[in-house]
Structure 1
Amino acid sequence: MSPYWFSEEPEPKDPPITATGWLRVVLRGLPIVLVIFGGLVLLLLLRLIERPLFGLKRPVTPYITRAVCRITLMLFGLRYKVSGKPMAGRGAIVANHAGWFDIFTLNAAQQIYFVSKDEVASWPAIGWLARATGTVFIRRKGSDAIAQKNLFEARLRAGHRLLFFPEGTSTDSLRVIPFKSTLFAAFFTDGLKDVLSIQPVSLVYTAPKGEDPRFYGWWGEMEFGPSLLKYLAAPRHGAAEVIFHDPVRVQDFPDRKSLAAYCEEKVRGGVERP
C-alpha cells in the first residue's frame, strides 16, 4: 500500500509559468532564501553553545525558527491568522497535514518540534532545515517501533513539544483522513500519561481568488520543486488559519485509540466546516 494519499479526483494541472511569473519567482525567492539560510546559519552557530550547556533542551534557537517562519510567510504574501491559544504546559500537538507549507504555518504559531517520516531527512533544503530545527525522524518499519517510542519519551521528558501528523501523509488540504493511533502509544507510558496533555490543531487554508480550492494541498505524485515554483510564481496568495483547540489530559482517556479518535474529531471539525 502506498504511504501517500491519492484523491479520487485528478490532480490539478498547473499552467506554465509566464515571464512575469518567473520575475516573481526571483523577487520572492531571493529574500526567502536569504532569510531561511541566514536564520539556519545563525541557528547552527548558537547550537554550538546551546548543545553543550543544555543538551536536548533548546532555550534559544526555537525563537529563531519561529521568527524565520513568520517572515517567510510574510514574504510569500500569505495572510496568516491564529485562533485559540497554544497550551502552556508539557505535552504534544496533533494536526492535520495539508502540505509542506505546514512547516511554516505551524512553526510561526509556537515553539514545536516536528515528527516526520525518515525520507524527509534526505530532501534537498527541507531535509537540512528539518534536521537543524530538531525534527524527530521515524521509520514505518514495525521493528523500529520500540526505539521510536523511547525516542519520543526522551524528547517529551526534556520538555519538547512534539508535533505529530497522525494522518501519516499530506492531503489536498480540504479534508482530514483517519488518524493512525500508533504514535499515540508513547503518551501512555508510566510517568508520562499523568503529566502530559495533547492539543488538537486544525490547519485551514484558503486558496487565492480564482484558484483551485486545493491550491495548498500536496498529495499523490506531486513533487516539491514544481510546487515551490508554483507558490513563488503565484500573482497572489490566499490565507492560512491555525486553530488551537482546547488541550486534553492523556490520563482522561483509557487508551491510545480513544485519544486518537477524539483528536481526529476535533481537528476535522475545524477543517471541514460547512
Structure 2
Amino acid sequence: MQRLRVIARIVRVMLVVLFGLGMATLFSLYERLGVATSAQRRQRWSQRFMRRLSGALPFKVRVVGQLPQQPMLWVSNHVSWTDIPLLGMLAPLSFLSKAEVRSWPVAGWLALKAGTLFIRRGGGDSQLLRKQINQHLDQACPLLIFPEGTTTDGRSLRTFHGRLLASAIDTGTPLQPVALRYLRDGKPDPIAPFIGDDDLLSHLMRLFSQDCGEVEIQLLEPIASHGEERAALAFKAQLAVQVALFGAEPVAQPQRRAKAA
C-alpha cells in the first residue's frame, strides 16, 4: 500500500512538472520570436504552477493573516525547497534563490523562466544584485527572499541579513514578513527540512513515503521601510517571525550606524 501511495504521488508531481515545462517552453518561444512577456505575466503563470505543485505535495496547509494588497518585499524563514511552491501559490511572486538552483535539472530551468533572481554566495556581486532587485520592485513586482541565507530544521531562526533588504529602503517598498512552520503529529516536522548535503530526489522519496504533514503559513503585519536603516529593518522582520514561531525575543537590537550602507 505504501509503495502504491509513493508511486501515485510521484506520478502526480510528474504531471505538474510537465505542465511547468510546457509553460516554460512557451515563454522560451516568445523570447525567440521577440515577443515581450512582462514580469507580471510570468508571475501569474508561476503562481498557477505553484498551486498545482503545492497540491501534489503531501501537506495540509493553513494560512493565517491577510494577503498584502500592494507589491511588497516578502521575507520568510527558510526550512525546505517546498517553501517556494507553498508561498508561491499564495500570490504572484518572484523569488531570490541561491545560484546552485540554476543548475538543478528541470527545476533550475523552470525557476529561470519564472523570473527567479539568482545570488552567488560570496560572489562579490552585491551591488549588481541590489540593482536587479531595485528594478524588480520599481516595476511593482512582488519579490520573496529568505534573509537567513540558508535553510534550518525549523526549530530555530538564524540572523536575517540586512544587505538583502537594502532595496526595500531604496524603493520605499514595505516588507511582508512570513512565519513558516512545518508540523507532524503536533511537533516540528523532522522530514520536511531540506538541509545539509541532502539531495532533492532522496528528500522527495522520504516525503512521499509518509502521511501528510501540516504547514502553517502566518502572514504577519507589514513593516514600513521608509527612513529605516537596513540592519534595523532586518531586526524588525526577524523579531516578528521569531515571536510568531517561538513566542520569544532572544535577538539583540542592532547598533544603529551613523550612515546606512
> TM-score surpassing 0.5?
yes
Gaps in structure 2 of 5+ consecutive residues = 249-261
In structure 1, C-alpha distance between the alignment counterparts of 2:106 and 2:163, rounded to whole Å? 29
Residue 218 of structure 1 aligns with which residue?
A: 194
Residue 24 of structure 1 aligns with which residue?
A: 5
Q: Which amino acid counterpart does residue 72 of structure 2 have in structure 1?
A: G
Give 1:74 shift: 2.6
In structure 2, C-alpha distance between the alignment counterparts of 1:49 and 1:142, rounded to whole Å? 31
* Percentage of pairs with the same residue: 28
Residue 198 of structure 1 aligns with which residue?
A: 175
Q: Is the 8 A contact 2:66 2:219 kept in 1?
A: yes
In structure 1, C-alpha distance between the alignment counterparts of 2:123 and 2:11, rounded to whole Å? 42
Cα deviation per residue 1:155-191 (whole Å; 9 max; x = unaligned)? 11122211110100011122211111111122233xx
> Secondary structure of 1:97's match?
coil
Give 1:273 shift: 4.3
Classify 1:267/1:241 alpha carbon distance in 2 versus 1 (closer, same or farther; 3 Å). same
Give 1:261 shift: 0.2
Classify 1:30/1:263 alpha carbon distance in 2 versus 1 (closer, same or farther; 3 Å). same
Classify 1:204/1:212 alpha carbon distance in 2 versus 1 (closer, same or farther; 3 Å). closer
Higher RCO (Cα < 8 Å, 6 or more apart): 1
Gaps in structure 1 of 5+ consecutive residues = 1-19
Q: Is the 8 A contact 1:174 1:214 kept in 2?
A: no
Residue correspondence of structure 1 range 140-151 to structure 2 within 5 A: 140-141=121-122, 143-151=124-132
Q: Is the 8 A contact 1:90 1:159 kept in 2?
A: yes
Residue 253 of structure 2 aligns with which residue?
A: none
Classify 1:185/1:210 alpha carbon distance in 2 versus 1 (closer, same or farther; 3 Å). closer
Cα deviation per residue 1:215-250 (whole Å; 9 max; x = unaligned)? 21121222222101111222x111112111111221
Q: Is the 8 A contact 1:94 1:263 kept in 2?
A: yes
Q: TM-score, with normalisation over the residues of structure 2?
A: 0.85
In structure 2, C-alpha distance between the alignment counterparts of 1:247 and 1:211, rounded to whole Å? 28
- For the aligned residue pairs, the C-alpha RMSD in angstroms reads 2.3
Q: Is the 8 A contact 2:40 2:92 kept in 1?
A: no
In structure 1, C-alpha distance between the alignment counterparts of 2:56 and 2:165, rounded to whole Å? 36
Q: 257-266 or 102-111: which moved more?
A: 102-111
Residue 203 of structure 2 aligns with which residue?
A: 227
The counterpart of 2:101, out of the listed 108, 112, 120, is 120
Classify 1:201/1:211 alpha carbon distance in 2 versus 1 (closer, same or farther; 3 Å). closer
Classify 1:77/1:49 alpha carbon distance in 2 versus 1 (closer, same or farther; 3 Å). same
In structure 2, C-alpha distance between the alignment counterparts of 1:64 and 1:112, rounded to whole Å? 10
The counterpart of 1:264, out of the listed 232, 238, 244, is 238
In structure 2, C-alpha distance between the alignment counterparts of 1:99 and 1:125, rounded to whole Å? 18
Residue 78 of structure 1 aligns with which residue?
A: 59
Give 1:121 shift: 0.5
Q: Is the 8 A contact 1:47 1:61 kept in 2?
A: no
Q: Is the 8 A contact 1:43 1:64 kept in 2?
A: no
Residue 238 of structure 1 aligns with which residue?
A: 213
Residue 258 of structure 2 aligns with which residue?
A: none
In structure 2, C-alpha distance between the alignment counterparts of 1:145 and 1:240, rounded to whole Å? 33
Q: TM-score, with normalisation over the residues of structure 1?
A: 0.82
Residue 259 of structure 2 aligns with which residue?
A: none
In structure 1, C-alpha distance between the alignment counterparts of 2:92 and 2:44, rounded to whole Å? 7
Classify 1:113/1:147 alpha carbon distance in 2 versus 1 (closer, same or farther; 3 Å). same
Q: Is the 8 A contact 1:176 1:272 kept in 2?
A: no
2:152 is equivalent to residue 177 of structure 1:
no
